[in-house]
Amino acid sequence: MSRYDPATIEPKWQAAWTEAETFKARRTGDKPKYYVLEMFPYPSGRIHIGHVRNYTMGDVIARYKLSTGHNVLHPMGFDAFGLAAENAAMDRGIHPKTWTYSNIDDMVAQMKPLGFGLDWSRMFATCDPEYYGQQQALFLDFLEQGFVYRKNAVVNWDPVDMTVLANEQVIDGKGWRSDAVVERRELTQWFFKISDMAGELLDAIDELEDWPAKVKLMQANWIGRSRGLEFAWDLSAPVHGFDKIDVYTTRPDTLMGASFLGLSPDHPLVKMLEKDNAELASALAEMRKGGTTEEALEKAEKLGFDTGLTVRHPLDPSWEIPVWVANFILMDYGTGAIFACPAHDQRDLDFCRKYDLPVIDTFVALDEPAPVEAAAFVPPKTEKVKWISHFAGLDEATGQEAVDATIDWMQAKGLGTGVEKFRLRDWGLSRQRYWGCPIPVVHCETCGVVPEKKENLPIALPDDVTFDIPGNPLDRHPTWRDCACPKCGAPAKRETDTMDTFVDSSWYYARFTAPHAQTPTDLEDAAYWMNVDQYIGGIEHAILHLLYSRFFARAMIATGHLPQTAKEPFNALFTQGMVTHAIYQTKDANGRRVYHYPEDVTVEGGSARLKDGTDVEIIPSAKMSKSKNNVVDPQAIIATYGADTARWFVLSDSPPERDVEWTASGAEAAHRHLSRVYRIAADIAASDAPETREDDALLKETHKCIHDVTMGVESFGFNAAIARLYAFTNALSKSRAGKEAKTFAAKTLAQLMAPMTPHLSEEIWQLLGGAGLIANATWPEADEAMLVEDTVTLPIQVNGKRRGEMEVPRDMPKEEVEKLALAHEAVVRALDGAQPKKLIVVPGRIVNVVV
């Protein structure tokens, strides 16, 4: 072949890898294992260039580890349950199962031409009954072990999707998919007891040495350990059997600034009061609109209702404060009751100003003679302040010192108890949807809630469902819903809720170790392959998926499905940047924006035009979005340039943790370079040049490149490795070394490029007589002796200003260096026949001539 032809090369080598089962994970010999995993995709039907970047990074690591003598596990699957499939069913009349599996087929067909070194024999989708049947078995084991329970709870209800949302799925008070305003409803729900592991999950974060600091901080903040005081306020008069209200606070030092006592709309006392107070009931209905998350409540308008009750201050029974219901108080954090100190909490201050409640300062800044009324004074807990109230013996202290002192003081007087609490709440997993994993329990009038028998698993979803009515089709499917009780045999009903899709992705990494096992895992295989050595995915999963996976790993250990060593399932985590692209837009006759696909726009210099000459506005470097038409189709790139060009470009232009902008000119430049590499290799194969004096120099440069590229790949510095390969290609092109030296250099270049451009590298390897597949070849090792520089470049200064440089042997005597320096043209010109006043030589560093 006279030219680089990806359309011929790439299918050829993909077929060779398939035939040789090159990437099939094997437990062979005494090789070390390496498990690399990219977060598996949702089967939307199309992969985009961001997928290409993510999977190429993982593929580079997997191919590199294979060539360094590891048994490599590099699998692929699909996170296939979810609302999008049901929405497609409703919008297009396509069954979710048909839509999902069709999309999976399309995406696999798009992935394979990219040459990813994946073990396709392990592929599964989470909607496979073989997968979710084992997930149901896990659920039953978790239920038996106490990791799952059922209770009435206030939940986030999405009125459009008609399902419950986890707190993390409520964004700005709206459903993460529907964008509908979320409502608060009380329903019977299934929960994972993740809060029981809050302390362990938090403490173990410090052990995640190879995780990004930002991700660890996000998880730590989400778990949210706090130390505070739990104590009681006596009601001035008992009501509905309540004579006191328990409160938890993290700022007991502000107790003397209490303005009112606030109750959650879902507090038991409020529910009792609501029964015979129509005005309160009406106010509560308004308060219960919006999500239950702290974020949603923080942003919502502050709403309150005066119950007419009062409580006595714990330190002064003659001091009574009113009891209000407030919409920003959470029932499932603390006790569902707070005391408000508006002087030192902006949320409380906003509420008090709205309802004309008193504001009482408890401390001021050291340099402020009087309280500042413009806003709540909320200094950092590390800042020392001056106490006005002198409560608990406080005078001047930091906030943290004051909290600790107050807790000790209150405990000593028997007025409260210091306790540790966490922000993390139990994970509600019930979803009122069809396209999810059925919860394997049965409701029997005689026996109550009965776990299904494992021999009856999987409890498979019925195919004959319709989506013409909002809500869960399983509720309307009597032949599926109605069943016999597994315990007594009486007529019963199946649980029609399905599991949150985050359950599906919380253990898939473990299933990949034995995807065809008749149990959730094969403990022997899990012990061999776990943990995931390198996990790659977006930082948007820092809280949800990663935290849930850490919980699941611990629960699976406790139920015998993972070894103790898998407590932290991901040894190293890398969060990649996005691939961005310019947005091309015009405006129609009504002034509305019209977005154009990149292939419909001609860009020259800094301007862009449509094919009809219409000027186009360019918005640079934006996140790719189908709605903005600035997506790049990998299939089009493969058809034009080949898969290796796409792989090379997404790695070359930016550090992998940063965003990279896709440009047509960048792709063209990458393709030109790969074509050049092929031509250089072809020329070397056809030459018969004898040995020359430059052979050693090229050999030395080759070993330097091996060292630098190896360091780059191992540190995720793919762009730095590629920059070094560019430089080495230039050196090889210019070298006048003989064929043997050039062949060694070119074969080494092919090996070093193989993780990034595997098809081209295989072709060059074959062209130059390499044995077998380059994918199976041993990674080259740099000869340390070759990395030592024989010469050194010395800068030459004249009167402290750099005038030139010279290259000398590293061990050249100082006297010889002086002679060469005085003979240098820049020095001769500066001296102009005179003698230097001083000549300073710092061996290996610099020469300075003083004239």
- Which residue positions form the known binding site for ATP? 626
**Is the alpha carbon torsion for 398, 403, 406, 412 positive or negative?**
negative
Tokens 């006596």, residue located: 234
Q: How many CB atoms lie within 10 A of CB 295?
A: 14
CA 78, chain centre distance (Å): 17
CA dihedral (706, 708, 710, 712) in degrees, to 10, reads -150
Amino acid type, 71 = N
Which residues does residue 32 pair with via DSSP β-bridges, in sequence order? none
Q: How many CB atoms lie within 10 A of CB 686?
A: 9
Residue 702: exposed, middle, or buried by beta-carbon count in 10 A (0-12, 13-18, 19+)? Answer: buried
Phi, psi of 54 (to 5 degrees): -60, -50
**Which residues does the annotation place in the binding site?**
626
Tokens 């390496």, residue located: 34
Residue 83 has which token pair?
């609302």
Residue 84 has which token pair?
């999008």
The answer to whether 759 and 644 have CB atoms below 8 angstroms apart is yes
Phi, psi of 421 (to 5 degrees): -135, 165
Amino acid type, 390 = H
Contacts of 123 (CB under 8 A, 6+ apart): 75, 76, 77, 78, 108, 515
Residue 551 has which token pair?
């919980």
As a whole number of angstroms, the distance between CA 54 and CA 63 comes to 15
Amino acid type, 725 = L
As a whole number of angstroms, the distance between CA 410 and CA 314 comes to 10
Residue 301 has which token pair?
């308008």
Closest CA to 90 of 160, 159, 157, 158: 160
As a whole number of angstroms, the distance between CA 804 and CA 440 comes to 79
Phi, psi of 366 (to 5 degrees): -60, -35
String of DSSP letters for 60-90: HHHHHHHHTT-EEE----B---SHHHHHHHH
